[in-house]
Amino acid sequence: MKRSLVTTVIIGVAIAIVVGVLHATKAIAGLETAVAQLVSDYAAATRAVGEKWQYLLVLVTAVGVAWLSLRNLPRLRTYPLLGFLAVEFLVLSWVCSLYRIFFQPVPCIFAVAFAVAAAEGWSAFLRRDRSHLVRTMFANRLSNKEFRRVRNGTFDGQPKLYEGSVVVCHIANRRGFTRSSDPARYSETMAKFIRETADGLIERGAYIHAADGEGVVAIFGFPNANAQHAQDAARAVLELSKKFRERQDEEEIFGAGEMHAGISSGDIIAGAVKDSAHPALLASGEPMELARRFCALNHRYGSKILIDTPTFDSVSETIVARPIDFVSGTNSHDRLEIYEPLWLATEAKPEHVARRDSFWSGVVLYREKRWAEAYSEFQKARAPEEEDDPALQFYLRRLEPLVLQLTESSLEES
């Protein structure tokens, strides 16, 4: 807003100076005389509008027209209004002549025309500059639909606060894969994972912020605002994780590797860095860091996807998820609860929901240190033998020595 106001004033002042010079040097005297004779009776006038007032009116007109032209209003509304304003100066000159006051309308009409031309030129320059900026930062990082929305929108690269969901994906055992594979095979495998994951997220509405050997970082809800960003992010990751497992079973393209993902929702600051020859996007915020941490924490719990509480609150109606643990936040004093999304609500079977509920009860009882009851609930949450549940095994390993200790204590007391 401040930048637009400054631009308006600069254009207005510049136009006022140009018109003032033309008027003062008599460069447009012939036209002024012809128009004056057409709309007023100069010879009968007893007074004339002073030069200072004439220049002031030119300045006000130039600034006002520039402001109106730079507001990005529909041209079909703006141009007739500005044409009507030019005619009004002719009418004003005629009305003044009725009272034997001479007013020269041509400088103000020139101010209208020049201000419109200057504002249009500036807007065209900004559109070209903005178009280059949008192509540089978002080409091949957004779907065609989302790219068109950015191109036709108001994104100008200025740092702003956005509400979005950050997704981080990588192959779980890529470090071990590096050591056990030759560089060519590792590069081929990682390139395939990065390409397929990035393409899948782009198709589902994400902006790809980074895609390299460390994995893929995507943002939902940026640069185009989207109130459903958390749901879109969770749905996209669940679908990609399922597809990854199916491809792995069919082709074994990633060996024993698994796709891990972390999702965090919240405020992100994003803007263009224009100082270099190649503009780049700078995105920062707590969700960026938390999503990376959650992605890495999957290794600890055996889960495949972890999300934070804000994300869970947004997707709890459409995604079947379960609590996993509390972890420290970016501030060591903060404690964040993380959840594991399991299925889309539309795809979850009754037995899936029942096992999720038993797991949830087990976690609650575990936190209350009711070990035996927690162990019993976790036993109810067991999946069929053909289905592996590492997160459940994580809690059972924690509980087994505690339950054994309780059993021994009961036997000793008896």
CA 196 to chain centre: 22
> Does an H or E element contain 191, and which?
helix 183-203
Arithmetic mean of pLDDT, 77-95:
83
Q: Which residue ranges form the domains of the chain, and what is each CATH number?
A: 2-136 (no CATH), 143-313 (3.30.70.1230)
Residue 263's pLDDT is 98
**For residue 287, what are its two tokens?**
């969700």
Q: Could you report the per-residue pLDDT of 145-171, keeping only the tens digit for each?
A: 999 888 887 787 788 999 999 999 998
Task: Output DSSP code: residue 287.
Answer: H
pLDDT, tens only, 224-277: 999 999 999 999 999 999 988 887 665 555 555 689 999 999 999 998 876 655
- Taking only the tens place, the pLDDT of each residue in 192-207 is 889 999 999 999 999 9
Which of 95, 118, 78 minimizes the C-alpha distance to 40?
95
Average pLDDT, the chain: 85
Using CB atoms within 10 Å of the CB of residue 170, give its burial: 0 to 12 exposed, 13 to 18 middle, 19+ buried: buried
Please name the residue ranges forming H helices in 277-389: 286-301, 309-315, 350-367, 371-380
Query: 35-49, 305-319, 380-394 — which one is most confidently predicted on average?
Result: 305-319
As a whole number, mean pLDDT of residues 106-128 equals 80
The answer to which of 10-24, 52-66, 74-88, 203-217 has the lowest mean pLDDT is 74-88
pTM of the model: 0.70
pLDDT for residue 1 = 47
- 32-58 average pLDDT score: 80
Average pLDDT over residues 15-25: 89
